[in-house]
Amino acid sequence: MASSGYRITILSCGVLMIVSAFCIAPAMSAEKVLHSFQGGSDGSYPASTLIADNTGNLYGTTANGGGGTGCQGSYGCGTVFRLAPDGTESVLHAFAGGTDGAFPLGGLIPDNAGNYYGTTSQGGTTGCNRGGCGTVFKLAPDGTESVLYAFQGGSDGWYPVGGLVADSGGNLYGTTQFGGDTSCPLGVGGCGTVFQIAPDGKETVLHAFQGGSDGIAPSGALLMDKAGNLYGMTIQGGDGQGGPYGVVFKIAPGGGETILHSFGGSPDGSWPYGSLLLDDAGNLYGTTGQGGEYDRGTVFRVAQNGTETVLYAFGDGSYGKRPEAGLVADKAGNLYGTTFYGRGCKQGACGTVFKLAPDGTETVLYAFKGHGQPRGANPAAPLLLKNGLLYGTTTTGGINNDGVVFSVRK
């Protein structure tokens, strides 16, 4: 994705206070529900991004459901699922809690042998309030699950909520939201880690967040560039001018951390939940769940020298608010994402799929209809762009209010 098209900031669309009049294109696309989760053995609450294979099958995780009884207060500990092009869903693995993990919130990554890798936010051990501290797992083509690493809840970290990224040597990289440096002031045994899992299962903590200017509680999957640098964001921490509202960070292959940007609330954004997108010039693109001119979230760009540009600030909610996921881009430089809330519906603001053009114009491609509706509501995961269609998941809505898999034409 070329970066030159994003040199126009939100100010180029007109006076900032009337940005909604100049920077929004009121176009809508049709949505197709590919699968509506039932909340039982097929899963519930899909909060992860989707991936696709060469035959058009989609793969993802659900944080709940699966039919297991090993998770207290839940009707299942989550699933790994496959959705065929004809809409047939197959549960490849249902987590049972305990040693095999529970409640996956991140997506999957494949290898060339047909294996899939991911994380569960809990399970694996009996520590961390008896729910388990989380796992890194491998799922073989025949459905056999192997726990590659079970977090212990101390300096090694716990509660991995994001997906993984892999290098050419088969090492896996991810983050834990808690654990690490126990001197962190967060009060949960650490402010989070960036970790590596070697093919033999050995874990190495590349960085333990200190709870100050270097960030607190990383969220979302990491991004790796060609040189092996890792990029991510934390929800809190930093030393932004307006307060400690999260950071964009870079981890060198040797483990050294560089803070590229500290969010300050307004106008640059706060509470970035999702993952980052990298263009060919090294610019990073992402979203913040709050902050910006109207405190309803932003789409931003951060250059390698740390310069941040707000590309779009969400306004009154009619065109979306609180984006919780990362972005995808097409070859023309358009960005696509979701908002968790926005665009009024019968039972609350149910979220949108949006497009942001290089000139800063935002278009709502689809507005979700609401809870109890067959079309889904409250998307929390990045989109998958494939063959002119945007594929995604919603955490709620659908037939039984357990979420859906959908597609929207870009």
Q: What is d(CA 137, CA 126) in angstroms, rounded to the nearest whole number?
A: 17
In the prediction, which pLDDT does 72 show? Answer: 65
What is the rounded CA–CA span in Å between residue 121 and residue 157? 11
Does domain 151-264 match CATH 1.10.1200.10? no
Q: How far apart are CA 364 and CA 379, in angstroms?
A: 14
**Cβ atoms of 282 and 330 closer than 8 Å:** no
Domain locations in the chain? 1-36+279-410, 151-264
Residue 355: CB partners within 8 Å, gap ≥ 6?
Answer: 334, 335, 336, 362, 363, 365, 410
b/e sequence 30-50, b meaning 16+ C-beta within 10 Å: ebebbbbbebeebbbbbbbbb
Cis peptide before 382 (omega within 30 of 0): no
Distance of CA 373 to the CA centre of its chain: 24
pLDDT in tens, the chain (410 residues): 333 332 222 222 322 222 333 344 445 567 899 999 999 899 999 999 999 999 999 999 999 999 877 786 668 999 999 999 999 999 999 999 989 999 999 999 999 999 999 999 999 988 887 789 999 999 999 999 999 999 999 999 999 999 999 999 999 999 999 999 988 876 677 999 999 999 999 999 999 999 889 999 999 999 999 999 999 999 999 998 777 899 999 999 988 999 999 999 999 999 999 999 999 999 999 999 999 999 999 999 999 999 999 999 998 777 889 999 999 999 999 999 999 998 666 555 789 999 999 999 999 999 987 665 578 899 999 999 999 999 999 999 898 899 999 999 99
Say how far apart CA 406 and CA 187 lie, in whole Å: 39
Burial 319-335 (b: 16+ CB within 10 A, else e): bbbbbbbbbbbeeebbb
Predicted pLDDT at 4: 30
Two tokens at 285? 């693109």
Q: Work out the angle at residue 352's Cα, subtended by the Cα atoms of residues 310 and 405, and round it to the nearest 5 degrees.
A: 125
Q: Which residue type does 261 have?
A: H
Identify the bridge partners of residue 138 per DSSP, sorted by sequence position.
Answer: 117, 146
Amino acid sitting at position 165? V
Both tokens of 157, joined, read: 């970290």
Q: Which helix (H) or strand (E) holds 21?
A: helix 19-22
pLDDT of residue 375: 82
pLDDT of residue 372: 57
Confidence at residue 18, expressed as pLDDT on a 0 to 100 scale? 27
Residue 366, pLDDT score: 92
| Predicted model pTM | 0.91
Check: CB of residue 299 under 8 Å from CB of residue 291. no
